[in-house]
Amino acid sequence: MPENITDKEMDLRDFIDVIIRRKKTIIAVFLAIVALAAGISFLMPKVYEVSMVMEPGALKFTAQGKDVFFDSAKSIEAKIMSEVFNPGIIRALNLMPDEANLKFKVLQPKYSDLVKVSLVLREDKVDVGLKILKQLFVEVSGSYKEILEYYQKLKEQEIAVISNDIEGKKNLIKLNAEKNKILEARENALLAEIKEVKDNSEKMLAQRKALLSSESQTDNVTSLLFLNVIQQNIGDYNRLSDQLTDLKVQRESISINSDNMAKDIDNLQIKIEEKKLEKANIRNINLTHEPEVSDKPVAPKKVQNMAIGIILGIFTGVFIAFFQDFWEASQKTR
């Protein structure tokens, strides 16, 4: 056990001894690699991210106020990554060959239905990148134009059907008003007839009473005639009263029908407003964040490169020192 500890101590002593003896080599290699990493970091051109954020087009809102999209963020991402919009962008912007290599990076932020599209470009190309992203948005939104028009026309048709229903009910209300005018005129005529019959009956009753109370002998035939006329008047009065009642029932029914249709029209008007709102909520894909350039370069990452250079310099320096020591030792043993 003590022998193993001694061996380990000797190995560690040898390791330290090599580092001390070859410290100049280690420092030289370390400084060379760090200088190389620093040179590369400072000589590399600055690279910026140009990005925008889009939201899929929506058909309507749910009862919970959430959008119902006519295409998903994943589908939009797949279309962009499959480069289906690239030819249109190149034609519209007349891009040069070195600018036509469109390598879009597409991300979907967590817990959202948004689509982030970005390009990583040199500092001198960021203006072109902004134009490319704007044209990409034009191409993507243009691809949904027919779908958008289809759903909007569908809502317009629904509104037209409801509007026709409203016009039909308004015409029926007008027709009912005309019917009520006719019935009202007939009702007034019946009231006049009833009054005439009533007045005639009262007159006949008064004459009969006068005849019966007179001292002169009343003719039985005359009395019977009075009774017949009075009974006929009573029959006419009852018949006319029944007709008047029927007319009032008809007029009331027509008025109730018109009132119900007026309420239906109010409800249909509300439906039209709802449909108009639904139509207004049908929207194409839209930009939630306009194309913009990152505030700081995304590359080169100078601090990261320097850290890698330092670590690599140390390990490489130590490796070369041990290799040099091993090489010299092997040469002496020959």
pLDDT digits (tens, 9 = 90+) for 233-283: 788 788 888 888 999 999 999 999 999 999 999 999 999 999 998 888 888
Position 298 confidence tier, pLDDT thresholds 50, 70, 90: confident
Tell me what pLDDT residue 124 has. Answer: 87
Is pLDDT above 70 for 100?
Answer: yes
CB contact at 8 A, 204 and 229: yes
Q: Spelled out in words, what is the top-level CATH class assigned to the domain 161-281?
A: mainly alpha
Among 8-17, 219-228, 231-240, 271-280, the range with the most confident prediction by mean pLDDT is 271-280
pTM score > 0.75 for this model? no
Of residues 28 and 293, the one with the higher pLDDT is: 293
Q: What's the Cα-to-Cα distance from 33 to each of 23, 178, 213, 232, 322, rounded to whole Å?
A: 15, 102, 149, 133, 17
Nearest to 54 by CA among 132, 151, 133: 133
Task: Tell me what percent of the residues of the chain surpass a pLDDT of 90.
Answer: 40
Is pLDDT above 70 for 208?
Answer: no
Of residues 29 and 287, the one with the higher pLDDT is: 287
Is pLDDT above 70 for 328?
Answer: yes
Is pLDDT above 90 for 85?
Answer: yes
Position 218 confidence tier, pLDDT thresholds 50, 70, 90: low
Residue limits of CATH 1.10.287 in the chain: 161-281
Number of alpha carbons in the 13 Å side-chain half-sphere of residue 198? 9
Residue limits of CATH 3.30.310 in the chain: 47-144
DSSP per residue, 16-60: HHHHHHTHHHHHHHHHHHHHHHHHHHHHSPPEEEEEEEEE--EEE
Is pLDDT above 90 for 89?
Answer: yes
pLDDT, mean of residues 96-123 = 87
For 47-144, CATH gives: 3.30.310
Is pLDDT above 60 for 119?
Answer: yes
Nearest to 74 by CA among 18, 114, 119, 132: 114
Position 159 confidence tier, pLDDT thresholds 50, 70, 90: very high
CB contact at 8 A, 232 and 275: no
Tell me what pLDDT residue 11 has. Answer: 67
Supply φ then ψ for residue 174, to 5 degrees: -65, -45
Task: Provide CB contacts within 8 A for 290, sequence distance 6+.
Answer: 52
CB atoms within 10 A of CB 133: 23
pLDDT, mean of residues 10-22 = 73
Supply φ then ψ for residue 266, to 5 degrees: -60, -45
Task: Tell me what percent of the residues of the chain surpass a pLDDT of 70.
Answer: 88
Is pLDDT above 70 for 114?
Answer: yes
